[in-house]
Amino acid sequence: MDGKQVWRDRLRQRMLKLSPRRRRGLGRAIRGRLAKVIRGLGPKRIFAFAATFGEPDLWPLYRKLLRRRTDIAFPKVAGGRMTFHVIRSVDGLRPGTYRILEPVRGRRAGRPRRNDLILVPCLGVDSKGWRLGHGGGYFDRWLSSSGTGIRLGVAFHVQVARNIPHTSRDERLDGVVTDRGVFWFSARQK
């Protein structure tokens, strides 16, 4: 087993230990902090992700943003690649690859621009912004070709570790929002 796999198991265990009640409370705290970041940054568009089982529940926040006509794009996986599509309502999402909710229609969002906020799901994130995903490398591939945008990880605080192994293929985050706060790793966000 490689170093990343050891960390994936460790972090999954930490997440599974959170009771549903605690998870809901922490999810609420994350949404509150994220809403504040969004108000502060005022991104043109948000590249979001559909939480899968165990991940922080961001749906109430997404619904609120959609009601305010914020442009939100969700990822869709096809042929091993991810593309983002803008949706108007969460009804425009259906279970797709890996049973994760994906946009069924909606125009392609294209590449993020400088003032766009990219929310990145994390199984783990370390003190320098290196991220561990579920092992598909989808976000690394997409981020490496997407260039710009503010890359903000979303995670429970128990998923933050001092040092997580990474390779030259891994893409770093600019910051992470957890139930305890928002932490910026890069100098360009403060």
Ligand X SMILES: Nc1ncnc2c1ncn2[C@@H]1O[C@H](COP(=O)(O)OP(=O)(O)O)[C@@H](O)[C@H]1O
Q: How far is the CB of 70 from ligand X (least distance, A)?
A: 27
In the list 102, 170, 174, 179, the residue contacting Mg ion (rule: CB under 5 A) is: 170
Does position 137 interact with ligand X (CB under 6 A)? The reply is yes
Nearest 5°: the CA angle 176, 181, 185 is 40
The number of beta carbons lying within 10 Å of the beta carbon of residue 141 is: 15
In the list 10, 41, 65, 140, the residue contacting ligand X (rule: CB under 6 A) is: 140
Tell me how far apart the alpha carbons of residues 19 and 35 are, in angstroms, rounded to a whole number: 24
Q: How far is the CB of 166 from ligand X (least distance, A)?
A: 7
Q: Any idea how long the chain is?
A: 190
Q: Which does 165 bind (CB under 5 to 8 A by kind): Mg ion, ligand X, none?
A: none
Tell me how far apart the alpha carbons of residues 164 and 142 are, in angstroms, rounded to a whole number: 21
Q: How far is the CB of 58 from ligand X (least distance, A)?
A: 19
DSSP 3-state percent helix, strand, coil across the chain (nearest 5): 35, 25, 40
Does position 44 interact with ligand X (CB under 6 A)? The reply is no
Q: How far is the CB of 82 from ligand X (least distance, A)?
A: 11
Chain contacts with ligand X (rule: CB under 6 A): 4, 132-137, 140-141, 144, 169-170
